[in-house]
Structure 1
């Protein structure tokens, strides 16, 4: 708890860390937003530069950042902290007990954010490297971008804590540079400040055809695509530090957009090729251009790193909430919250390189960008409304919040749907694929749980004690540990009793039952011990937060050590030769793998889900690896899980 209190304190270091961690995506948007507004995407004609287009574009950007980023995320959504943590799954954990259907927006939002992680590195890095075209108009940037992306994903396995410490100062330099360049160019046309009047935003949209207006809205939305990161990284930076740093960031962003607008107004009545004359680089003095491109490239890499780290955290949370197959998660450094998911890393790497090869140029990537993140924002809106209801905020305020943001984000979604054919299909397809994985894993688990039979463990206390004392049965282990999914101490899976008594009678000095409950709080580490039969049958319930690594092997041994120290349990070997020397008895974990034997009575939908689940199981970690068990002390037993109601069977004997 102290850690979170420290994070929420406003400090200069906290503000600097915030600059380095959470503003990469939204902070690099000036590289491509005005390019997209003027029109550079496939199938989109470059628009003639006019005062209405330029001032209206800046006005839309300003008010989008104000309503979408400042009001919705910085002021409202940051209040929805889960013990200091943020992000869509943290938010879901806060409200999921209020309505079961909230799993749907949570999964959709999570998948959309992961899909965004595939398009953000290519578009930001490509936009920065394409600045070199000012020097070399014929330069092919694809290879350079691919090399940078491959190197970025390669270094993830070694941890990024050392590099991460430099992110804050570099991003401070980046935003400061953007602000100064904007001020220099605004001096040539100070009247651009009138674009902050919402009239110009409304005028641009109403004076354009509906098709063009939606295209412009889709382009403007790119200025706020990183808003989700402000909330996702709440735990790393703290609410107050984010709010203060956002004031600086937004000021620098708006100044830069106004500076680009001032430069564009010099070309009224003309059509300017934004690929050759990106306004972001065009407002730089010629002598500074190479430095600006270098800083932009570093900022783009930092933005990509933030998305990659966010994707790792998202998957780790999904695994612990049983929304994603069990995958290997590494912790390459001691830095809190830093983790590495190899499978996701290389999938993202392949996806990012695929995007670069498919679209080639940042202007074409713009068509694929924005659609998935709009969906994620809509899902966050739904979840935040439920959080506000939980906090007993008046209904009229919640309804106003819903109406305003569903209208705003729905309009942006419509604007981004215009880009579906020219590229939006890509991220939407990726998002649907990810949704299929998450949803199938979640539903399959519910189907399996439906057929798990629980029985009263009290009925077996006597026979378990007798078996433990029965020397005619060979001892299986001194300490025998089973992982149980029974939520109540009074119950146990029938398959565990079947394993102990019938599969192969397993005599042990003590039978341990271990249950893991994933809590709605992020960093809870608690346990309860219940001596069902003193020194014979003991149950341990671990209560672990959804961001806590489930190293059950280590946690279990730590608990046993504490119980021994307090004299609550004796784990000394009962073998006479070992007992007299006070040797600790051996431990063995038994993991029961429930095998699907029949599915004849499942619906077609459930059969499809279970078929997908079966394929996902082949590539996911086994239960013993997922829980961090020492494999040399683990026995895996397969027992049938009959997925059908037992039907009476009739058969007749024909001989005597």
Structure 2
């Protein structure tokens, strides 16, 4: 990996522009729907408007600015961020962190399904102001379909335009707000936290208002997830501009709402209502572009999240493509299909942004809670004083649990879809992880040193046809002096496999994002060699290429000789053939497991049908791979009693 991947991005004009384009799509489109949700069907009053504005300001300050921009961005993993990067930092400190990491990841994926149709619908529905009879659903459907189709070709060509477009968008938000604030500077008093306290303590629908307020910060998690694309300094500086533009626009909407005191919204959208009539079409066009960028960011983020989950063994192995040379640009066909189908279901179920609003926000509340838990473990690891950790935990637990409580009533109005979606994703991730743990617990390891002489004799036994010049196995053993019994069974019993050299490869996924290194152990010089690869959780495990490079290094260093031992081939110094053996371990008898583990393993086997094979998952050349099914011997066999009857 390039050295710059290990370095934090420096503050620069280009970096700030990239930050605007990549990070703020979700949070940047929130003015489209936040006040519409806060007001809802309620009578517009001064208390409601000023209280709503105050809640928005302090939510963005407490959650986005302090929690994420100031504190959480410090939990970078060699410059990378996101809930799985954070989990990688703390997993060795506390094994139980797998639970909040898995829950948070599933909730984040659920958000990736709900956000695109919601955001695009909220933008396009502005057309109804000019054309009341227009059906916006087909337009939203066409835009989303186009977004998902272009994923397979890579988005590098449009990604370059994201920064300038979002700069225009945020500047437009600020200008529209300033125009309305200019003659009503008293709106600035809404910054006083008393107004937030007053509306939440006196309004009978306070929790419903809280649910609407939370929508202003749903994109905060993206600030952390995209840390690796932009770097901490660029995010922190660009956030100052973004927050200023957002608050100016919210205040502008607040001024307009105060002019509507004593009335109801009745379908009016505060965001579009502050636009001059002549500008409406341009405003809708810009909102649509911003919504497309927000959707693209969520989709790309979902691909990255799944790729990390696969390498951390939290998701079934799936095919991952690299459509362009842009850093971090990946395409996961199966996830693209899942996201597309999910978006279409959301459109079919809810149809309008007003209906989707009830399903939106709940998943991100859960992700934020999980991030808070993981950050507390990280701060403990960094030896931050316990009193400060306690303050952080208490403050953000109260804030986020309050938002969760405010979103819970939405479950019966559409939030059930978020709960169902997140539960399915969590169940998939958790079952895969637990199934792998159960399988690994049933693997028997044996002392490799006891078999060295057998391997040497087998290698020189000309009565056995040579299977390959270089025979390669993947091993799960973390120690060079032991090997799976199934590999011994494959080499010696299933079919004796004579080879000149036996190679054992082990892959460890590190807690760092871009580690790419290997260690060689000569168990028996020139005959039995082990290579341990240490790869970061964001490095593609292309073992075929990595192994070839390692062998080339060993040949150059004259540590190994890969020239074929066949007489003719040896005469002309032609390299021998390499053969990979992949062992598919099969459990056929589930009766030895508990009822819970039986259920887990059956679902795990179901998921394995949809995952890519081991050879494809490790990027092996299919022409040199042979797959063998090996029964996985169980450590917990039942004690069998068998009596022999004498033959009379």
- For Structure 1 versus Structure 2, the TM-score category normalised by the shorter chain is over 0.9
Identify the residue that residue 206 of structure 2 maps to in structure 1. 213
- Say which of 611, 628, 631 aligns to 2:619: 628
- Say which of 512, 517, 540 aligns to 1:521: 512
Query: 3-state DSSP class of the match of 1:530?
Result: strand
Structure 2 Cα separation of the partners of residues 649 and 492 of structure 1: 31
Identify the residue that residue 223 of structure 2 maps to in structure 1. 230
* Structure 1 position 26 matched with structure 2 position 27: yes
- Say which of 154, 163, 170 aligns to 2:158: 163
Contact 2:6/2:78 (8 A) holds in 1: no
Identify the residue that residue 419 of structure 2 maps to in structure 1. 428
Note the C-alpha offset of 1:111.
Answer: 0.2
Note the C-alpha offset of 1:651.
Answer: 3.2
Identify the residue that residue 409 of structure 1 maps to in structure 2. 400
Query: 3-state DSSP class of the match of 1:613?
Result: helix
Query: 3-state DSSP class of the match of 2:21?
Result: helix
Q: How many corresponding residue pairs?
A: 646
How do residues 145-544 of structure 1 correspond to structure 2 at under 5 angstroms?
145-209=140-204, 212-273=205-266, 275=267, 277-544=268-535
**1:230-278 deviations in Å (ceiling 9; x for gaps):** 00000000000000000000000000000000001111011121x3x21
Structure 1 Cα separation of the partners of residues 518 and 534 of structure 2: 6
Query: 3-state DSSP class of the match of 2:531?
Result: strand
* Structure 1 position 79 matched with structure 2 position 74: yes
Identify the residue that residue 13 of structure 1 maps to in structure 2. 14
Contact 2:444/2:633 (8 A) holds in 1: no
Structure 1 Cα separation of the partners of residues 331 and 639 of structure 2: 48
Structure 1 Cα separation of the partners of residues 408 and 338 of structure 2: 26
**1:155-186 deviations in Å (ceiling 9; x for gaps):** 00000011000000000000000000000011
**1:70-97 deviations in Å (ceiling 9; x for gaps):** 0000000000000000000000000000
**1:307-337 deviations in Å (ceiling 9; x for gaps):** 0000000000000000000000000000111
Query: 3-state DSSP class of the match of 2:512?
Result: coil
Contact 2:105/2:305 (8 A) holds in 1: yes
Note the C-alpha offset of 1:578.
Answer: 1.0
Identify the residue that residue 42 of structure 1 maps to in structure 2. none
Structure 1 Cα separation of the partners of residues 637 and 336 of structure 2: 42
Instruction: Summarize the Cα distance change of 1:610–1:28 in structure 2 as closer, same or farther, 3 Å threshold.
Output: same
Structure 2 Cα separation of the partners of residues 74 and 313 of structure 1: 21
Instruction: Summarize the Cα distance change of 1:595–1:5 in structure 2 as closer, same or farther, 3 Å threshold.
Output: closer
- Say which of 62, 78, 92 aligns to 2:57: 62
Query: 3-state DSSP class of the match of 1:523?
Result: coil
Query: 3-state DSSP class of the match of 1:267?
Result: coil
**What runs of 5+ residues in structure 2 fail to find an aligned partner?**
none
Structure 2 Cα separation of the partners of residues 95 and 222 of structure 1: 29
Structure 1 Cα separation of the partners of residues 363 and 557 of structure 2: 54
**1:195-247 deviations in Å (ceiling 9; x for gaps):** 010011111111112xx110000000000000000000000000000000000
Note the C-alpha offset of 1:68.
Answer: 0.4
Note the C-alpha offset of 1:442.
Answer: 0.3
Structure 2 Cα separation of the partners of residues 646 and 205 of structure 1: 62
**What runs of 5+ residues in structure 1 fail to find an aligned partner?**
40-45
Structure 1 Cα separation of the partners of residues 99 and 491 of structure 2: 39
Identify the residue that residue 136 of structure 2 maps to in structure 1. 141
Contact 1:599/1:642 (8 A) holds in 2: no
Structure 2 Cα separation of the partners of residues 648 and 294 of structure 1: 74
Structure 1 Cα separation of the partners of residues 497 and 72 of structure 2: 53
Contact 2:19/2:163 (8 A) holds in 1: yes
Note the C-alpha offset of 1:7.
Answer: 3.9
Structure 2 Cα separation of the partners of residues 651 and 279 of structure 1: 84
Note the C-alpha offset of 1:654.
Answer: 4.3
Contact 1:142/1:357 (8 A) holds in 2: no
* Structure 1 position 129 matched with structure 2 position 124: yes
* Structure 1 position 613 matched with structure 2 position 604: yes
Contact 1:82/1:90 (8 A) holds in 2: yes
Contact 2:7/2:78 (8 A) holds in 1: no
- Say which of 630, 637, 641 aligns to 1:645: 637
Structure 2 Cα separation of the partners of residues 322 and 267 of structure 1: 54
Instruction: Summarize the Cα distance change of 1:188–1:358 in structure 2 as closer, same or farther, 3 Å threshold.
Output: farther
Identify the residue that residue 571 of structure 2 maps to in structure 1. 580
Note the C-alpha offset of 1:188.
Answer: 3.6
Structure 2 Cα separation of the partners of residues 599 and 235 of structure 1: 43
Structure 1 Cα separation of the partners of residues 469 and 462 of structure 2: 13
Note the C-alpha offset of 1:646.
Answer: 4.7
Contact 2:174/2:249 (8 A) holds in 1: yes
Note the C-alpha offset of 1:5.
Answer: 6.5
Query: 3-state DSSP class of the match of 1:513?
Result: strand
